[in-house]
């Protein structure tokens, strides 16, 4: 068999969310011969993604494995074509729709974001969305570009056949956080590239970006300890990490994530209030406009 099969995989913990978000997006993006695997989650995300890697690695016709969070919806009809373009470079191991450079830990937003072609859609407070930097189809700032990055945001992660067969998610790091950063570091440590591509995705996510700060902090520390002095972007020489210093750094990064979450919630609340005010204003003033309208019609 020829290497021409793109596999889509999702670790499913909430079937309603999968059916509402990931499933329709995969149907839109997938090709007639694509394999779609909705894996009933058991254990950590690291473990479930490794099971999906094992399944994909067994195919000798594998072209790419696309790991899709259950709350991520691909809305790009050219997804597979764009993915092939990114993977045409044999040195590319991982492709995402959002990424950054200058990243030193799992808080990838602490680096310089160079591309982010997704929108964050929420259901709280009447619903709404926050488009990211590169969501617009018009001109974007000159500093935004697709291409090589340190790490991507793993809610949609496309993996080359080489990476599928040679890398694994490190299950010792935790249950959820840091899987994408660590996986990207593994690829880059092996001399491979991590890149962004203009893959358009809707991330259906709550306004609470870090729902378990303590678990996130623990993952931050574990990943920092693992890559201490070994980051592909690190200077030559060893950094003397201290537990308290790492925790302080992790807490600061988590606090920034929580601050962003709070800002999103405030903006969403303001939007909801504006909608309510506009709705009530229309109902109150509409009777005053009716006679004028009728007079104009009679005239």
* Residue 136 lies in domain: 5-207
Is the Cα dihedral 286, 288, 290, 296 positive or negative?
negative
CATH number for the domain spanning 200: value is 3.90.550.10
**Element spanning 66, H or E:** strand 62-68
Cα three-residue angle 99-122-30, rounded to 5 degrees: 60
Q: What are the φ and ψ backbone dihedral angles of 23, each rounded to 5 degrees?
A: -60, -50
In a domain, 18, yes or no: yes
Domain contains 78:
yes
DSSP H helical segments within 104-236, as ranges?
161-166, 179-189, 213-226
Tell how strand 156-159 and strand 98-101 pair up.
Answer: unpaired
Spatial contact of 32 and 8, defined as CB atoms under 8 Å apart: no
Residue 299 lies in a domain: no
Q: Is residue 259 part of a domain?
A: no
**Order of strands, edge to edge, in the sheet holding 72-74?**
72-74, 201-204, 118-122, 128-131
Residue 256: its pLDDT value, please? 75
pLDDT in tens, 241-293: 455 456 556 767 776 777 788 788 888 888 888 887 887 766 666 555 555 55
Q: In whole angstroms, give the CA distance from residue 135 to residue 115.
A: 9
Tens of pLDDT, residues 272-285: 888 878 877 666 66
The answer to whether position 264 is within a domain reads no
Predicted confidence (pLDDT) per residue in 136-170, tens digit: 877 877 788 999 999 999 999 999 999 999 999 99
Pairing of strands 5-12, 62-68: parallel
Helix (H, G, I), strand (E, B) or coil at 122: strand
Q: Per residue in 86-95, pLDDT tens?
A: 999 999 999 9
Q: What is the per-residue pLDDT for 211? A: 82
What is the share, in percent, of the chain residues with pLDDT greater than 90?
A: 62
Residue with tokens 């303001």, as numbered in its chain: 270
Mean pLDDT confidence for 229-234: 71
Pairwise pLDDT comparison (113 vs 250), residue with the higher score: 113
33, part of any domain: yes
- Cα(118)–Cα(98) distance, rounded to whole angstroms? 8
pLDDT at 296: 53
Contact 137, 63 (CB under 8 A): no
- pLDDT one-digit tens code per residue, 11-66: 999 999 999 999 999 999 999 999 999 988 878 999 999 999 999 999 999 999 99
* Position 107 in a domain: yes
Tell me phi and psi for residue 118, to 5 degrees. -140, 165
| Of the candidates 203, 180, 195, the residue with the CA atom closest to the CA atom of residue 25 | 203
What mean pLDDT is predicted for residues 169-198?
96
Domains contained in the chain, number? 1
157 inside domain: yes
């Amino acid at each position: 068999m020829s290497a021409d099969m793109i596999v889509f995989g999702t670790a499913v913990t909430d079937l309603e969310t999968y059916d509402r978000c990931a499933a329709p997006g995969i149907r839109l993006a997938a090709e007639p011969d694509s394999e779609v695997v909705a894996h009933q989650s058991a254990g950590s995300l690291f473990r479930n993604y490794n099971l999906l890697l094992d399944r994909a690695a067994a195919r000798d016709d594998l072209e790419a494995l696309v790991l899709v969070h259950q709350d991520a919806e691909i809305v790009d009809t050219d997804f597979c074509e764009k993915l092939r373009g990114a993977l045409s470079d044999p040195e590319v191991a991982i492709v995402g729709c959002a990424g950054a450079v200058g990243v030193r830990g799992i808080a990838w937003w602490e680096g310089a974001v160079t591309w982010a072609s997704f929108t964050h859609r929420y259901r709280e407070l009447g619903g709404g969305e926050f488009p990211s930097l590169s969501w617009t189809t018009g001109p974007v700032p000159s500093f935004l570009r697709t291409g090589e990055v340190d790490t991507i945001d793993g809610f949609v992660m496309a993996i080359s056949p080489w990476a599928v067969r040679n890398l694994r998610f490190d299950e010792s790091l935790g249950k959820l956080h840091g899987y994408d950063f660590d996986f990207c570091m593994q690829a880059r440590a092996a001399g491979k590239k991590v890149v962004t591509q203009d893959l358009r995705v809707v991330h259906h996510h709550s306004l609470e970006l870090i729902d378990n700060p303590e678990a996130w902090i623990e993952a931050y520390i574990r990943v920092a300890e693992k890559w201490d002095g070994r980051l592909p972007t690190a200077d030559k020489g060893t950094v003397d990490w201290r537990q308290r210093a790492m925790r302080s750094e992790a807490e600061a990064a988590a606090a920034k994530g929580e601050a962003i979450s709070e800002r999103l919630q405030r903006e969403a609340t303001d939007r909801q209030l504006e909608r309510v005010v506009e709705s009530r204003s229309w109902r109150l003033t509409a009777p005053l406009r009716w006679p004028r309208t009728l007079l104009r019609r009679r005239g």
